[in-house]
Amino acid sequence: MARLITCCCSLTELTSQSQTSFFSFLGTSCEELETGDQLLENSDAEKDSLKVKLLQLQCHFTWNLQTEHFNWDDLLERIHYTIESDIVNYKVMPYNLLTFINCVRGNCEESFNNLWEAEEILRKCHQFEIEKWSIVTYGNAAWVYYHVGELEEAQSYLDKLERICQQFPDATRYTAMIPEVYGEKGWSLLKFGWKYYEEASKCTEKAVAEDADNVEWNTAHATAMFRIKETFGDPQFPEHCKVVKQLHRALELNPKDSFLKIMLALRLQEFKRKEEFYRLLKEVLQNSPDDPYIIQYTAKVLRKARYVDYALQILKKALKLRPNSALLHHQIGLCYKNRLLELKRMSQKYYAQQERKELIELCKYHFQTAFDQKSSLFCALLDLAEIYEGTQEYSKVDEIYEKLIRIEDCNRLSRQLILWNYGLYQLDIKRSLLTAIHHFKECLKLKVPSKKNEDCHAILQQIAEDRLDEYSRDSVAFGILGLIHQLDGKKSEAIGFFERALECDRHNEEFKSALRELQQAP
């Protein structure tokens, strides 16, 4: 194992200058150096040829999982919870995913440990169908060995895959699209967030179509359908709703799954089926009274259904068992925030100042504690900023946003939310229009398809139109419209707006840079 890890910096990755120094150190002659160069060229060719084969595999390395700006801590926490809580039937799946994650993050030794665990599970738990479950695991193994420069080991796994795939009539040379591959792909895509829900649903649907009674694939398919907010059908009849049907089917196969019950309760709540809603939540709390994840989701359902007192009751009970749980602290803070909003809606006669102060302090404490316990929980800090904004403690709000803006290890969805909220704060509270415009533009540039993106587009469009109504030669307005058209893929219109912006402000570097980029684009 140690030998494998030290191969991470192989000869093929050395620069020509460092290669020369290396061979000089060994006292190599010029002829031998030429031979060495030839060997390096052959090694590069071998590596390129191997990569062509690797790209034909079906595994985490070929599923186009976007790893840039990803919230790894949150994902790793969820995967380890899946393993520890015995949630999945196929234990090889979380270890396969960990193999990929640790490899792309450069944790080679941990990646090999995960791979060893996955292969051990194959031998112990899948001995009668090991070929089917080896396709993704061996694919990952080939890629990991390739990444550390152990090309012979990578090729050995390709050879194993080639022998396995000969057993399946519709297989290609190195992979077979069977339910186990479709199912594991769908399950893994779900872990990587909203961008992959549609594809995850298609994958799990194919797995279910070929293996109709499989608990894991039915559960994953129900989860994917729930998350993409499948259309209801007739709003009066939940039995016409595809998601409800699939959730019922999954629960029929796995009647003790608390997460399925929570998802079904949420859907039935939308159909005003209160009796079933309460029954399901009661069963969840009876079956999983000490699980902080289950409690968190159950409380979230209750809070949204306006049963805030009940939600607080179960959250406080769970917090006694897990006092350092950031998720529980955040949910408690949200419950107190709900109470605070309800208090504000009351008439002045019944407006309890002391209760308001207590609720504000409770919100501050729980949101701050949540972020302190889990620094990737940016939404808790945004909630805290909102509380300080409501109490007009603007120096505290400024401090929070300055901290959030500086955070680099932040996924695009969180960054979008931060920029959007900060833009609104600058616009509505600080009355700093230009600063607000800057943050809205940065938010829009992220190009994250969401409701916030649409709102940001709309508010910038309105700002530009309002400014042009006041002054027809407003460079800021033309710059905004140029960016909007550029991001919408309307090149000629974008160029026109940036040219007009420069006519009004000919030294503006932002406009010059944007115009150059557009003009040089194919």
- Residue 515 covered by a domain: no
The domain boundary, picked from 389, 410, 431, lies at 410
What average pLDDT is seen over the chain? 86
Q: Left if phi > 0, otherwise alpha if psi is -120 to 50, otherwise beta: which for 27?
A: left
| CATH classification at residue 362 | 1.25.40.10
Domain boundary among 384, 410, 436: 410
Q: Please report whether residue 164 resides in a domain.
A: yes
In a domain, 36, yes or no: yes
**Confidence band, pLDDT 50/70/90 cuts, at residue 428:** very high
Burial 138-162 (b: 16+ CB within 10 A, else e): bbbbbbbbbbbbbbebbbebbebbe
The per-residue DSSP string of 3-15 comes to HHHHTTS-GGGS-
Q: State pTM to two decimals.
A: 0.71
480 contacts 464 by C-beta, under 8 angstroms: yes
In a domain, 190, yes or no: no
Report how far residue 140's alpha carbon sits from residue 13's, in angstroms, rounded to the nearest whole number. 22
Considering the domain boundaries, does residue 348 fall inside one? yes
Q: pLDDT digits over 478-511, tens only?
A: 999 999 999 999 999 999 999 999 999 999 999 9
> Is residue 9, in this structure, part of any structural domain at all?
no
pLDDT band at 455 (very low <50, low <70, confident <90, very high): very high
**Domain contains 448:** no
With residue 28 as reference, give the H or E element that holds it: none
Q: What are phi and psi of 99, to 5 degrees?
A: -55, -45
37 and 172 together in one domain? yes
Cα 272 to chain centroid, rounded: 31
% of the chain surpassing 70 pLDDT: 88
Kindly give the residue spans of alpha helices, DSSP state H, lying in 288-325. 292-304, 308-321
Which of 119, 143, 176 lies at the terminal end of a domain, its last residue? 176
Looking at the structure of the chain, the number of domains it has is 2
Token pair, residue 522, equals 């194919």
- Digit-coded pLDDT (tens) for 23-42: 333 344 445 445 444 544 55
Which of 246, 248, 244, 226 is closest to 235 using CA atoms? 244
Distance CA 457, CA 66 (A): 25
Q: Is the pLDDT of residue 166 over 90?
A: yes
pLDDT at 349: 53
Over residues 373-421, the pLDDT tens digits come to 988 889 999 999 999 999 999 999 999 999 999 887 777 878 999 999 9
* Domain around 153: 22-64+71-176
DSSP letter at 242? H
Does residue 256 fall inside a structural domain?
Answer: no
